[in-house]
Amino acid sequence: MTLKSNYKENVADARLLMAEWDDCQETGGQIAVADDVELEDDETAQLYEHYRLVVDKKQKMLRVDKFLLDHLSNTSRNRLQKAADAGFIMANGRPVKRSYKVKPDDIIQVMLDRPHYENKITPEDIPLNIVYEDDDLMVINKPAGMVVHPGFGNWNGTMLNAIAWHLKDMPQYDINDPEIGLVHRIDKDTSGLLVVAKTAEAKTHLGLQFFNKTTKREYNALVWGNFTEDVGRIEGNIGRDPKDRMRMAVFPPGSEAGKHAVTHYYVLERFGYTTLVKCVLETGRTHQIRAHMRHLGHPLFCDERYGGDQVLKGTNSTKYRQFIDNCFKICPRQVLHAKTLGFVHPKTGKEMLFSSELADDMALLLEKWRNYIPANI
């Protein structure tokens, strides 16, 4: 049997979400990093080989999850079964179910959606907008365009590189220790608040709050179209879109496809052809707001991945199209901001609630819509 790692292979149209063994810790049987992890949209749609095992000629037929459990360290059978369900375990180049029986000379691969990253996160002198900080945690207002965690095509210049620099004189903080650091993430092109744990105890405590849905998370989003009601609730499972694996889709509640997801929305301001809404997450799924709003017929403004970068509402006049083009240039990203974040402090037990101002590009865009309405609608 041979074992190789850090070998890369393309798999067309595949980009599945699963936590890496190397940087995930479990808390009470649950992954501590919150489920609202957003993989960056500019990552290539590939799977990368992290482990390869060639089955010995004398190997008896054995379930693939049991076989891998016998040969890999720092994992569990439950985690391996989830990997198989997600399409991450392959036999002879094809995804297999957890019940697949390995045979002599089979080539078994464990794939993930990002390269095997063996380098350490290095400190970089990058400014951070720190809203709050104490010995246990820090709350950061992330700008749009900043990648949270090093990954494919973004090994440097990330928020973690900046945090490593900011805390370089704190001897007990190791940015490469998976038991501390990020508790949740937001997408590269989403701005707003994130909490970072500076101790293992803080990460465990905060991670459980995210898992138990006791945190408070509110987002502001500009979406296409007008709403008939001022308040609404969207319930629908979220999972990978079978027609576009880079995108999430909404499936009927209670179905086997996707994970249960609920978003509450409140109209804040109407612009005729677009609407500013507040979204409150009852659950936290990948691209939850973006997928739910598209499903409702209101894609986020300028959201290329979900079709919001086209003129979806309004007139066919040249003047209006030029106005929209200018809007896209002012805020060339999905118009989404993580505005409010609330949680219980892991040490003091005090309720902590933070709110952030909208990013400059989003504020300018909203002002442009306010000035457009009176004269043109």
Could you report the per-residue pLDDT of 185-214, keeping only the tens digit for each?
A: 888 899 999 999 998 899 999 989 988 889
| Winning range, highest mean pLDDT, from 27-36, 109-118, 152-161 | 152-161
Structural tokens at position 254? 């209670």
**Exposed, middle or buried: residue 347 (CB in 10 Å: 0-12, 13-18, 19+)?**
middle
Weakest mean pLDDT among 61-75, 247-261, 285-299: 61-75
Position 115 scores a pLDDT of 55
| Residues 106, 55 contacting (CB under 8 angstroms) | yes
pLDDT surpasses 90 at 1: no
Could you report the per-residue pLDDT of 99-126, keeping only the tens digit for each?
A: 999 999 999 998 875 555 555 788 899 9
| 185-201 per-residue burial string, b: 16 or more CB within 10 A, e: under 16 | bbbbbbbbbbbbbbbee
d(CA 95, CA 88) in angstroms, rounded, equals: 7
pLDDT surpasses 60 at 21: no
Would you call 187 a catalytic residue per the annotation? yes
Q: Would you place residue 339 in the very low, low, confident or very high pLDDT band (cuts 50, 70, 90)?
A: very high
| Residue 318 neighbours by CB under 8 Å, 6+ apart | none
Mean pLDDT of the chain: 83
pLDDT surpasses 50 at 131: yes
Position 88 scores a pLDDT of 86
d(CA 268, CA 313) in angstroms, rounded, equals: 19
d(CA 373, CA 377) in angstroms, rounded, equals: 5
Position 374 scores a pLDDT of 58
Q: Spot the catalytic one: 35, 187, 309, 361.
A: 187
The one-letter amino acid code at 119 reads N
| Residues 242, 287 contacting (CB under 8 angstroms) | no
| Residues 217, 354 contacting (CB under 8 angstroms) | no
Domains of the chain, each with CATH number or no CATH: 3-31+48-112 (3.10.290.10), 130-199 (3.30.70), 216-376 (3.30.2350.10)
pLDDT surpasses 80 at 290: yes
Per this entry, what is the length of the chain?
377
| Residues 267, 231 contacting (CB under 8 angstroms) | yes
**What average pLDDT score do residues 141-166 get?**
85
Q: Would you place residue 73 in the very low, low, confident or very high pLDDT band (cuts 50, 70, 90)?
A: low
Position 105 scores a pLDDT of 93
Could you report the per-residue pLDDT of 53-70, keeping only the tens digit for each?
A: 999 998 999 999 999 988
Position 18 scores a pLDDT of 32
Task: Say which residue, 329 or 13, is predicted with more confidence.
Answer: 329
Position 223 scores a pLDDT of 98
